[in-house]
Structure 1
Amino acid sequence: MAAMKRGANAALTRENPHLTGVVVGVRWDAGAETPLSDNLVVATILCDAAGKAVSDEHFVFFNQLSSPDLSVNQLEQALGDDNEQIEIDFNGVPDTIARITLVLYINEGTARRRALGQLKECRLRVLNLADNSELVRSEDLSGMLTNETAIALGEIYRHNGEWKFKVIGEGYAKGIAGVAADYGLTL
């Protein structure tokens, strides 16, 4: 399977008509940069049609492991080679949610003076929720990162009644504050 490039999208439910949900896995390799690896956070933002978070409660991360409707859950332990995994139940996602965006950011504190450009690998993959078979995976996004401290990795979104996946790969020099400003979150 060829890795999807930044900006590419895949028709998940059109290609897999019985698909009821996915697990999105995020993998990174920080090499010997333990302070960086230990302070990386995966978060999911449930957005409306305008691309803004429906509310601050629709920001799923280590302190809030589920969306209010329980359709999006961050798994407490990732399986396989992924560092983090997010489970999305398509049938449970309210109609008000148009996009589910996945971000990776460096948590403040001991990781100061670190940047995502230090990563040796950064990619995501989408698995079938029913059997964990891999549907798609992104290219390694680490090569396009320099001084950024957050990145919008990709998104699962609705299009003409179907669910699709897109690789975003957009970095943020202002970290989670930049992400919050773009998505209308109050942190």
Structure 2
Amino acid sequence: MAISLSKGQKIDLTKTNPGLTKVLVGLGWDTNKYDGGNDFDLDTSVFLLDENGKAASEADFIFYNNLVGGNGSVEHTGDNRTGEGSGDDEVIKVNLSQVPASISKIAFTITIHDAEARSQNFGQVSNAYVRILNEDSNSELIRYDLGEDFSIETAVVVGELYRHGAEWKFNAIGSGYQGGLGSLVKDYGLDV
């Protein structure tokens, strides 16, 4: 049975699941109906970070135009342009045993594509979540529902997988950002 987390909660992933190496990180959301006339396109991006919380290069920024990073240990399975239907909207595969030693954290984010131009924000998004599954058994291990009401934010850092000694843990972050993907990219040490 999956463990449900609340904002700021940290939990062991590999210690409580011995032998776990391959995980699926599923992210999902629904968009509220509004009269802006534009479709929503939410995107999952992943940042591979060093011990200082920075990405070493653009290769450590995984998104719809760069689907694989970390020497193949992290793979974005593709862009879902509508987010319609139930289940995960976008999925990231992570082979924890293959993540380069220089990577201390793997940050998972959701942004709204062209949010400013379309006058969209996370106040118009509901039921956003992240969940971690054992890839081999497809069983859900951890789930974090972002119940927070983001009103003006156009990007959210959902959570992080991070190293703790030889083990991997998950931190449910749920922090909103204004400035969309560009502000996240800068915060993680890359040029836009």
TM-score, reference length from structure 2: 0.89
Secondary structure, aligned partner of 1:138 = strand
Task: Say whether residues 1:24 and 2:30 are aligned partners.
Answer: no
Q: Which whole-Å CA distance do the structure 1 matches of 2:3 and 2:167 have between them?
A: 22
Higher strand share: 2
Tell me the alpha carbon deviations over residues 62-88 of structure 1, each in whole angstroms, 9 at most, x when there is no partner.
00100050100011388x700000000
Match of 1:69 in 2: 71
1:174 CA drift (Å): 1.4
Judged with a 3 Å threshold, the aligned counterparts in structure 2 of structure 1 residues 103 and 68 are, in CA distance, closer, same or farther, namely: same
Judged with a 3 Å threshold, the aligned counterparts in structure 2 of structure 1 residues 2 and 163 are, in CA distance, closer, same or farther, namely: closer
TM-score, reference length from structure 1: 0.91
Secondary structure, aligned partner of 1:144 = coil
Match of 1:96 in 2: 102
% identical aligned pairs: 36
Match of 2:164 in 1: 159
1:43 CA drift (Å): 0.4
What is the correspondence of 1:14-93 to structure 2 with a 5 Å cutoff? 14-32=15-33, 35-37=38-40, 39-76=41-78, 81-93=87-99
Choose the corresponding residue for 1:121, options 123, 127, 145.
127
Q: Which runs of 5+ in 2 are unaligned?
A: 81-85
Task: Give the partner amino acid of 2:59.
Answer: E
Whether the 8 Å contact between 2:64 and 2:79 is mirrored in structure 1 is no
Match of 1:12 in 2: 13
Q: Which whole-Å CA distance do the structure 2 matches of 1:169 and 1:22 have between them?
A: 20
Worse overlay, 119-128 or 109-118: 109-118
Q: Which whole-Å CA distance do the structure 2 matches of 1:13 and 1:166 have between them?
A: 13
Judged with a 3 Å threshold, the aligned counterparts in structure 2 of structure 1 residues 10 and 36 are, in CA distance, closer, same or farther, namely: farther
Judged with a 3 Å threshold, the aligned counterparts in structure 2 of structure 1 residues 121 and 36 are, in CA distance, closer, same or farther, namely: farther
